């Protein structure tokens, strides 16, 4: 499908400088732009590419001033990156979505699958599960019993949505993610071994939740593990049983959250963060990568380190840590001087 520069400008509330009839039908990075593509310039480091790019149309900031001639048609917008992201979303929406049920899919007679849903090859939908309008279930997906999948949710190849899980509307579950895995519950007995504690609860995902590839969300021991609306989870994240994550929190890859911890809304958690169990983390908390959280955190805190503490204090302390060898040398010299007096 082709679009003109003027049509795109209307979509992103921009103004055209150049040929309003310039047509595009694909997306490209500015350095790789070719005829028929649209690109964007958001980072000043890439400004030099705009003078040589072969992209037919380029999104730029409304205040961009060219220092040399260029060939591309410009669309001036308030925020090029945000506008390009909007175009990406629009592109995904208008792409032809797969439809129907593949012949090799296995769907229980007791499952309910909306007529507009897509179920890919060799995917399985078990009994008493509800698949809603506009859902896309790609190949090799397993959907357990008593699962509910909300409207327009996409579940990618190899994902597992296990018994009793509830997934909201407009979610994306990426490849090989597992929602509703058995929680890590063990009780020590008198002989030093461990007895399994049954995990009888479920997982509830809100609307507009993204779950990255190979991320695992454990079902609750009792009740529910809850992921709020708009939460974005990167790849390779472990979320333990009975964890609760508030709305619009973002968590980067390789973070692990132990059981029964509650995380507030609008938090930003970096990669490889470890969070101990049974803690409460407030709203709008920022946690830097590789931090270890061993105590409750109040609203609006910005923390770093292991054990993690205030981000500004950590940076000030780290200056002294880097110079610790010099501090020790100075202290030893001072001790020698005092001993000789």
The yes-or-no answer on residue 138 being catalytic is: no
Angle (deg, nearest 10), helices 5-12 and 80-94: 110
* Cα–Cα distances in angstroms (integers) from residue 336 to residues 324, 326, 330, 339, in the given order: 18, 15, 10, 5
Cis, peptide link before residue 9, omega less than 30° from 0: no
Please choose, from the candidates 294, 254, 257, 259, the residue with its C-alpha nearest in 3D space to the C-alpha of residue 270.
254
178 within 8 A of 162, measured Cβ to Cβ: yes
With beta carbons less than 8 A apart as the criterion, state whether 205 and 211 touch: yes
Alpha helix (H) ranges present in 13-62? none
In 3-state terms, what secondary structure has residue 88?
A: helix
DSSP 220: P
Residues with a catalytic annotation lie at 241
């Amino acid at each position: 499908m082709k679009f003109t520069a003027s049509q795109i400008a209307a979509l992103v509330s921009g103004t055209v400088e150049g040929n309003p009839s310039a047509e595009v039908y694909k997306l490209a990075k500015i350095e790789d732009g070719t005829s028929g593509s649209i690109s964007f310039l958001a980072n000043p480091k890439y400004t030099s590419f705009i003078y040589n790019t072969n992209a037919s149309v380029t999104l730029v900031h409304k205040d961009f001033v060219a220092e040399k001639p260029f060939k591309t048609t410009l669309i001036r917008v308030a925020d090029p990156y945000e506008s390009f992201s909007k175009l990406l979303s629009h592109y995904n929406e208008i792409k032809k979505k797969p439809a129907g049920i593949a012949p090799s899919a296995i769907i229980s007679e007791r499952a309910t699958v909306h007529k507009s849903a897509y179920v890919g090859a060799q995917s399985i939908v078990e009994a008493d599960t509800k698949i809603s309008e506009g859902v896309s279930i790609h190949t090799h997906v397993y959907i357990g019993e008593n699962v509910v999948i909300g409207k327009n949710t996409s579940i990618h190849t190899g994902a597992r949505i296990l018994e009793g899980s509830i997934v909201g509307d407009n979610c994306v579950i990426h490849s090989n993610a597992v929602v509703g895995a058995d929680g890590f519950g063990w009780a020590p007995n008198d002989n030093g071994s461990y007895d399994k504690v049954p995990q009888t609860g479920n997982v509830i995902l809100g609307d507009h939740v993204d779950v990255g590839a190979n991320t695992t969300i454990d079902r609750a021991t009792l009740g529910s593990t809850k992921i709020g609306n708009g939460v974005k989870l990167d790849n390779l994240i472990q979320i333990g049983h009975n964890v609760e994550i508030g709305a619009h929190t973002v968590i980067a890859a390789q973070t692990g959250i132990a059981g029964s911890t509650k995380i507030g809304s609008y938090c930003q958690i970096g990669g490889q963060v470890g969070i101990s169990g049974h803690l409460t983390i407030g709203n709008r908390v920022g946690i830097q990568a590789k931090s270890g959280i061993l105590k409750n955190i109040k609203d609006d805190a910005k923390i770093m380190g292991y054990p993690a503490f205030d981000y500004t204090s950590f940076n000030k302390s780290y200056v002294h840590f880097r110079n610790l060898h010099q501090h020790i040398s100075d202290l030893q010299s001072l001790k020698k001087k005092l001993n000789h007096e």
